[in-house]
Structure 1
């Protein structure tokens, strides 16, 4: 589908990109695929590593991810997530102005788990291969183009594989990913999985969850118009009366009906007021809204009775516990869907 990238300009904010200088960064990748964890750590025995140096006083924020999954009442787990707290060395041709890259993503599969698993395994690799290489490569325009191309490439590769099967795979997946470039977040999403930022408001002296993603469902005016223009219909709030989301990876049988793989993209500058990121599939939001999720998480993060677990700091223990309890509570509150929750703590280095 030929969807203009100009439709995604709204929601961008001005941001300053920090230019760090010293301190080593490591490579650590986690992929959770249908509830199965895969760990991969590169060493010098595997391949040469390019060590980028970041100064301790550069103002970088440390990003550390935690996740939890629950199958719920579904027969199988169709969610997947990818967590890369620091993947800087995975991109060998980064512009000199970029010294830290991190990547966090949640994929909510439907009609099977193959699209979500494909996205969890392939999207970040496509991002790395397409990441701008010029000295001005961290410019908003170039990173935005990179993200759009990355999603299109990931979608095209899966559709090619799906169409070659007999019978043809019908799988599809939502996607929400956060890419941290130095201290700037770029958020790209398809469908109804969400990303939020917990930020402290100095004026109100309160925490709030700020939406970083835009939901895509067929009842929204712009989405419905695109679907109808392509010859599709919206019945009972679904594309062709079947598909609940209007943008996704996969879903080959609906692509000619106006279902798009072009993500909405937003930008956010990290500040000292930021506490954590929350990424989750719609299974969580069937049991929580932003306010109740915030209250639930904060109660655990502020619980003074919690003791640190072996090998973990107290903060790590609390965030890990918050993730797991939040996912379990969504199921207890009646969410029958798969539930995947990712928390990314934000702290000063």
Structure 2
């Protein structure tokens, strides 16, 4: 299992913000697991270093910083750690009418710690902490194994739903609800716990808006449901894409059988330091102001998207109220379609977007 994921609610100690990501590893799990543990920290550092900078530029900086960090890890390991991963990230930000956060007099937290993070392993979380009913989350995993012909088969392994719920707190209050559900890996970076001492939350004013910033490198994908229609927020960076293939050849490489230099199927990723001249970490970014027509967001690796279209995925879970059940349904569909890859799915439900918060 080479996938990882992370989620942070009340991100940067701002009530109603959230960060979500899926990392699909290849040639080893190290890059994906490192991103699952540290990507959100890099994003927070970049936000605090340049608070007035446009968020898409911040995401671009973060992707490059993470890419460089993985390259340093490869060098320090004498080439033993040379894995890479595709990535799809979503940052749900609370802003004022001018696209800023004027309600913050200073960065909400001086470090990369947020009230809740999805990056740490902790199997000893107390069973006594009650789940908050306004947030629902679950973790399941599909661990591929090889049959006698070397093909991968999906095997579902359930983790404790209550453990995730116990680690979550409300970001909405009585008039706002936010639910996320995760199906996918049970890697170390895919568990959840509180990130140390609670940081006082900043509560944005009632007239704040919610903007969804997405960024991806590779073929991990983000799809928004707007009034029942699928809106793809990401771009698939593959060797079969003519524009990406031209970029590879212009850089002195080649694409054979849809693979960069005959090896890698994706043309952008984090890590893969040995191919960094051609397989860059620069992300594709989008900015979407959410409205009451926006219902939910799906983030998933290609293990799902290889066997389902964007619109079919939306239609499959649109009537499913519970995000946990929605993610399970998408995962089961991938299994039924005999996907041959790891599968990680994150479903984020939006509610009351026309009101005070999400």
TM-score, normalised via structure 1 length: 0.65
Looking at structure 1, the residues matched to 265 and 241 of structure 2 have their Cα atoms a distance apart, in angstroms, of 12
Are the counterparts in 2 of residues 132 and 142 from structure 1 also a CA contact under 8 Å? no
Helix, strand or coil for the counterpart of 1:339? coil
Give the number of aligned pairs.
238
Are the counterparts in 2 of residues 132 and 143 from structure 1 also a CA contact under 8 Å? no
Give the stretch that moved more between structures: 207-216 or 223-232.
223-232
Matching residue of 2:221: 194
- Aligned match for 1:216, one of 209, 217, 237: 237
Are the counterparts in 1 of residues 42 and 66 from structure 2 also a CA contact under 8 Å? yes
- Aligned match for 1:236, one of 257, 265, 269: 257
Summarize deviations over 1:67-102 as a string: whole Å, max 9, x none. Answer: xxxxxxxxxx1111111122132xxxxxxxx87531
Helix, strand or coil for the counterpart of 1:80? strand
Q: How does 1:1-349 map to 2 (within 5 A)?
A: 77-89=1-13, 100-132=16-48, 137=52, 142-182=54-94, 183-200=210-227, 207-256=228-277, 258-299=278-319, 301=320, 315=321, 318-348=322-352, 349=357
Looking at structure 1, the residues matched to 299 and 272 of structure 2 have their Cα atoms a distance apart, in angstroms, of 22
Matching residue of 1:38: none
| RMSD, aligned CA | 1.7
Kindly state the Cα deviation for residue 225 of structure 1 after the two structures are TM-superposed: 2.0
Are the counterparts in 2 of residues 132 and 146 from structure 1 also a CA contact under 8 Å? no
Q: Which runs of 5+ in 1 are unaligned?
A: 1-76, 90-97, 201-206, 302-314
Q: Taking structure 1 as reference, are residues 325 and 235 closer, same or farther at Cα in structure 2, changes over 3 Å only?
A: same
Looking at structure 2, the residues matched to 134 and 153 of structure 1 have their Cα atoms a distance apart, in angstroms, of 14
TM-score, normalised via structure 2 length: 0.63
Looking at structure 2, the residues matched to 277 and 113 of structure 1 have their Cα atoms a distance apart, in angstroms, of 26
Kindly state the Cα deviation for residue 259 of structure 1 after the two structures are TM-superposed: 1.0
Looking at structure 2, the residues matched to 159 and 341 of structure 1 have their Cα atoms a distance apart, in angstroms, of 27
Are the counterparts in 2 of residues 88 and 100 from structure 1 also a CA contact under 8 Å? no
Are the counterparts in 2 of residues 79 and 107 from structure 1 also a CA contact under 8 Å? yes
Summarize deviations over 1:276-314 as a string: whole Å, max 9, x none. Answer: 000000000122111221222125x1xxxxxxxxxxxxx
Kindly state the Cα deviation for residue 329 of structure 1 after the two structures are TM-superposed: 2.0
Are the counterparts in 2 of residues 110 and 172 from structure 1 also a CA contact under 8 Å? yes
Summarize deviations over 1:193-233 as a string: whole Å, max 9, x none. Answer: 10011111xxxxxx111101111112323212221122111
Looking at structure 2, the residues matched to 122 and 320 of structure 1 have their Cα atoms a distance apart, in angstroms, of 25
Are the counterparts in 1 of residues 12 and 44 from structure 2 also a CA contact under 8 Å? no
